[in-house]
């Protein structure tokens, strides 16, 4: 079964926009809320919304708490008693930074704030709506058609795979730190959800090196190649994926 209600951040371009398009192909999806900082400039999203009444657009700045709180209120009004089945934390940035860069605390903190802290806070703010959806059935079943948080993560989160230092152009040090933090909070939330009997699944999916503004034109795969696999994998998520790190085909990645 598919999640009926979905909220995705960073949905105006790249992987986020691709996920919106792919999720709209899923018949079971009833309400899809696409969030982005600049909705007025998201022309392709606006066109999609005009042609599919299931799609709703929402201005949200994930790095701003007031904006996140307001987004919860807006999403709650759209999903009603159904609650929120699926939160996709996709919004993210790269702040070019490496070992040989001039020390710049603000750049490092900005990357960590948007990619990790904001995803954590979004997960916390939306947890009541996720729990409302989960409450539609009893028991401890974990599934995205019940209630789930999917973080769009990265192989940069893997310490075992961290063999290239700051990466191409000495630019990924802050980004790598942010994605490690994302997986770390996911592991903690997964454990806490179990302790407190909260039947909300949380997991991390690496989309691959994708041809986007962030990934660059030399990346290995297209947005369509990535999101087709991601959406298919979301539909296969179970308790076995709780708190883990996986590639877009749900193969386990080392931490």
- pLDDT tens digits, one per residue of 135-160: 999 999 999 999 999 999 998 788 88
Domains along the chain?
A: 5-246 (3.40.50.720)
In the sheet with 31-36, reading across from the earlier edge strand, the strands are: 55-59, 31-36, 5-8, 86-89, 148-152, 201-206, 245-247
pLDDT of the residue at 219: 64
**Span 153-189, pLDDT tens digits:** 998 788 888 878 887 777 889 999 999 999 999 999 9
Cβ atoms of 170 and 90 within 8 Å: the answer is no
CA distance 196 to 174: 33
Whole-number pLDDT of residue 8: 98
**Which portions of the chain are predicted below pLDDT 50?**
none
Say how far apart CA 236 and CA 244 lie, in whole Å: 14
Position 209 scores a pLDDT of 65
Q: Give Cβ neighbours of residue 122 (< 8 Å, ≥ 6 apart).
A: 9, 62, 68, 87, 89
Strand pairing class (245-247; 201-206): parallel
pTM of the model: 0.96
pLDDT of residue 44: 95
């Amino acid at each position: 079964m598919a999640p009926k209600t979905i909220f995705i951040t960073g949905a105006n371009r790249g992987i986020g926009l691709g996920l919106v398009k792919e999720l709209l192909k899923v018949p079971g999806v009833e309400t899809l809320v696409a969030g982005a900082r600049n909705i007025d400039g998201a022309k392709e999203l606006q066109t999609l919304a005009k042609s599919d009444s299931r799609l709703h657009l929402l201005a949200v700045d994930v790095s701003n708490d007031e904006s996140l709180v307001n987004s919860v209120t807006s999403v709650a009004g759209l999903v009603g008693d159904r609650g929120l089945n699926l939160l996709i934390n996709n919004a993210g940035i790269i702040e070019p930074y490496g070992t040989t860069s001039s020390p710049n605390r603000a750049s490092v903190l900005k990357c960590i704030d948007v990619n990790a802290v904001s995803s954590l806070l979004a997960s916390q703010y939306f947890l009541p709506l996720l729990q409302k959806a989960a409450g539609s059935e009893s028991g401890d079943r974990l599934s995205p058609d019940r209630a789930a948080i999917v973080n769009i993560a990265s192989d940069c989160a893997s310490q075992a795979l961290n063999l290239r230092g700051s990466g191409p152009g000495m630019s990924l040090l802050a980004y790598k730190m942010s994605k490690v933090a994302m997986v770390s909070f996911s592991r903690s939330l997964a454990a806490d959800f179990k302790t407190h009997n909260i039947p909300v699944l949380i997991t991390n999916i690496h989309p691959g090196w994708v041809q986007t503004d962030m990934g660059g034109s030399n990346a290995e795969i297209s947005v369509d190649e990535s999101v087709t696999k991601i959406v298919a994998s979301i539909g296969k998520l179970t308790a076995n994926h709780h708190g883990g790190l996986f590639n877009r085909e749900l193969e386990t990645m080392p931490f």
